[in-house]
Amino acid sequence: MNKPSNSYDFIALGKAVVRTEQLAVEQLLSKIGDDFAAACRLLLECEGRIIVLGMGKSGHVGNKIAATLASTGSPAFFVHPAEASHGDLGMITNKDLVLALSNSGETYEITSLLPVIKRLNVPLISLTGNSNSTLASFADVNLDTGVKKEACPMNLAPTASTTVSLVMGDALAVALLEAKGFSEEDFALSHPGGKLGQKLLLKVDDIMHKGTQIPIVKENISVSEALREMTRKKLGMTCIVNQENELSGIFTDGDLRRTLANKTDLDRIQISSVMTSNGKTISTGRLAAEALQIMEKNAINALVVISESNKPVGALNMYDLLKAGVV
């Protein structure tokens, strides 16, 4: 191997690779046709799992395709072809479907499994760069992922071809997602530990301050007494309720600043005369992400959670959302 030179134009080389792979993906558009639709129908009809096979770089791509399918509502897992021939093929049941990747379509570790796959009578979808290959001829549906040129200057290292296979896998996964009516909440259920899961599953009830933690005062008390309640509960606000304990207003740090600017006697004036009567609230059972939207849209830092009878049952602020991973 020749000694590397510092005279190379690495920017130009990088852009050339991107252009090559971009062209390969653009050419894939013309290959999304009847075969693609047939593959989608087979995948949609699968009552079991989608078993993805691939060797080498195709195996890495297959692993990612299996993960994408599984996370978007189509149960799938990757099986290494070499391991499959030594027992792992027993994972495949007659309700499953096999999705096999091989750019040449002649990968021995995969072609050696084809008679067994046929004997199991499970549907086979192939992603190959050679529609006349052994794998393509065995498949119920073959998806052409061939490229005219790899990004590698020697046209040897799998580069553009693996990109195209990956894009084809994404196209299958998203098409199935749409056909199944897979929702954001479904996605969150398969990603409960991530930030998206927190945003889509967490409800205000899960993170709000409840019971004696809620800052609440009556309408007829003084502003100074309300301030003491705000200080004790440390949420930067307090709820104001009427004699029936229904929410009649909210008093926040911002309301306090405006009150002080008017040089009001905090010991003598009632909180009801300076509170915000139509403050923003959120109902129980709503998503914490909705609380965040309300706060951001209205430039506020705290929110009261109310029941159907308009009684405050909780309170939360931006810090609570941040701590819960919603922000």
- Alpha-carbon distance of 158 to 60, in angstroms, equals 11
CA distance 95 to 319: 49
- Model confidence, pTM: 0.64
The Cα–Cα gap between 50 and 39 comes to 12
- Please, where in the chain does CATH 3.10.580.10 lie? 204-323
Mean pLDDT on 30-45: 96
Whether the predicted pLDDT of 323 surpasses 60:
yes
What are the φ/ψ torsions at residue 258 (nearest 5 degrees)?
-65, -35
User: Which SS3 state, helix, strand or coil, does residue 77 take?
Assistant: strand
The reported pLDDT for the residue numbered 35 is 97
CB 126 within 8 A of CB 151: no
Q: What is the pLDDT of residue 193?
A: 54
Residue 80 pLDDT: 92
CA distances from 257 to 32, 163, 253, 275, 294 (A): 62, 58, 6, 12, 22
Mean pLDDT computed over 224-249: 93
pLDDT-derived band at 238 (thresholds 50, 70, 90) equals very high
pLDDT of residue 186: 58
Strand 302-306 vs strand 141-144: parallel, antiparallel, or unpaired? unpaired
Please say if the pLDDT value at position 60 is more than 80: yes
Domain with CATH 3.40.50.10490 in the chain: 12-182
- Asked if residue 257 has pLDDT above 80, the reply is yes
- Kindly state the tokens that stand for 136: 């393509």
- First-to-final CA distance of the chain: 51
Mean pLDDT of the residues in the chain: 89
What's the pLDDT tens digit per position in 126-138?
A: 999 999 999 999 9
Looking at residue 259, its pLDDT comes to: 87
CATH 3.40.50.10490 fits 12-182, yes or no: yes
pLDDT for 250 beyond 80: yes
Give per-residue pLDDT as tens, 128-168: 999 999 999 999 999 999 999 998 888 778 899 999 999 99
- Mean pLDDT of the region 229-247: 93
Q: What architecture is domain 204-323? A: Roll (3.10)
Q: What is the pLDDT of residue 192?
A: 53
Poorest-pLDDT segment among 86-90, 148-152, 290-294: 86-90
Q: What percent of the chain has pLDDT over 70?
A: 91
Q: Which of 264, 208, 256, 200 is nearest to 228 (CA)?
A: 256
Query: Three-state SS string across 208-248, please?
Result: CECHHHCCEEECCCEHHHHHHHHHHHCCCEEEEECCCCCEE
Bridge partners, 96 (sequence order): none
Average pLDDT over residues 41-61: 95
pLDDT of residue 190: 58
